[in-house]
Structure 1
Amino acid sequence: MSDQPGEQTVPTTATRGAVDLTSLGGGASPATGAAQAGAGAPAEAGGDALHVQASDATFNDAVNRSIRVPAVLVVVSTRLPESVVFLGTVVEVARTLGGRLQVVSVDVDSNPGLARALQVQSVPITIGLVQGQVLPMFAGAVPADQLKQVFEEFLGLAVQQSVTGRLNLAAAELESDELPPLHQEAFDAIERGDLPAAAAAYEKALAQNPSDTDAKLGLAQVQLLTRTQDVDPAAARAAAAGDPSDIAAALTVADIDLLGGHIDDAFARLIDLVRNTSGPERERVRTHLIGLFDVVGNHDDRVKKARTALMSALF
């Protein structure tokens, strides 16, 4: 589990806390990139994407892009799903900033060079990239409203460093209108009613890119449809009412409520069940509830409220 975030601060100078990563990737150093690109240079290929994934080999490209457009680096681990969820929150907050901020993500599990250079102790961690410098921000996950405040302060620092470029998000979105192949495969499978094939396609997409939030959402939705396609709602509700300790019946009714748009009811049912169970049964209910959060989307206010209620039920 990641460390809890402390006071959220942004460095006050471009050199405070800077990390030397020029040995990674064999590419140009930030200084070389500045000489080649200049503050007003056009975006690099793919450089206008709101969210880009970096690696040991490509990280210097991301650093060099920060000479034109400020960026935040989010370090995640595929072994900690909460860190990937937080990355999605960062991307959504960045989307509200009109192209003033790019999000760069790194999977620490597959990029040991960056893990060593950044001295990663826990994930997620968030780091600023501006004017070719790597500046520590904070560790842990924070709510969207706090992120917005920290990012605005960071952008103010970028202005002081004369880094005021913007991403051409409209052009980037036009280029990405076509679904990725595995997403299209999943969509086609759903259209013909082949839910196992749709799930398999989304699972392949997540295996290739664990940060693919659209694939995660799609898979959760397909799994919900699969669980409920042969369910008799009346019989399920009768079973749950007749035996409040019947975990399977309660999970099924929560699924039905969610499909029917009764999201708060579905969440409340399972949170109450978490509160009144223990051991493996509690973990089974908690895991199912987290899956329903994925179906609705982790930025939905109802999910945020339910997460808080779940924490209270657990502790």
Structure 2
Amino acid sequence: MLELGQTNDAAAPADLIKDVTEQTFVADVMEASKEVPVIVDFWAPWCGPCKTLGPQLEQAVTAARGKVKMAKLNVDENQRLASALAQQGLPLQSIPTVVAFVDGQPVDMFQGAVPQSQIKEFIDRVAAMKSGGGEDDGGLSEALEAAEQMLTDGAATDAAQTFAAILGEEPENAAAYGGLVRAHVAMDDLDQAEAILNGAPAGISKAPELEAAHAKLELAKQAAGVGPVAELQEKVDADPNDHQARFDLAQALYATGDVQGAVDQLLELFRRDREWNDGAAKTQLLTIFEALKPQDPIALSGRRKLSSMIFA
């Protein structure tokens, strides 16, 4: 029996960390993530980096003290499930791959062995994400959904007002803060968007919602000086190895809302010369992926294609 103030760290891994299979994945990941975020470590016995990353993940999850759980999936023993998840957009061609699930959906991920500090940042970021099974929030979730819908429908001014009202109730609501930045980007008020972003409270400054808003702002600033799509397309058609023209075309396509077209051009540039301009194609792709929602099909498919070229 524990006395007040004591913790049973030795027993924590049994509750927080599980080996999962095709048969238990739905219960231990999809359903469990509706109560608390779950990170899934996709690994294999022959994978050297997996042997380093796994224990580091377990240590970080245990240190989070129940704010996040961990599931370990051996892809060799669960090939059908891994294949099905890959077909749904998860980039599982290379391992280790670590994917975070909230409310049954993938919300964040990374690949390869990374430093312990980055693992902690990832765990902290995921642990801060709220699943739908929590306490009543006084209607803030509904207001957030309404504001996001306004933004999707092109009513950026109304969305900005709604996001601002939410922040009046909850000043450190990262989703509302990121939404307010994105609303001003949509209104082409980039200076105000940057000012709002720079004024974010320290407690949420590294939240994924703000990182995504920052990426969207940077892309909007880049797009301000690019030429017409038609002219840039003609340049690329005339000389497919004009890498600068293809890069500019990708920026122009993104500026017009053709995100898929931008990703396709950048992937083609990476295929032709991955080192061009200090790896500018890869950097731009990662910026676009960060600006999109993690479960966005364009982001999931693009990450998968980029990963397959990196590790080919």
**Alignment TM-score, normalising by the size of structure 2:** 0.48
Q: Which structure shows the higher helix fraction?
A: 2
User: Of the two structures, which has the highest relative contact order with CA contacts closer than 8 Å and spacing of 6 or more?
Assistant: 1
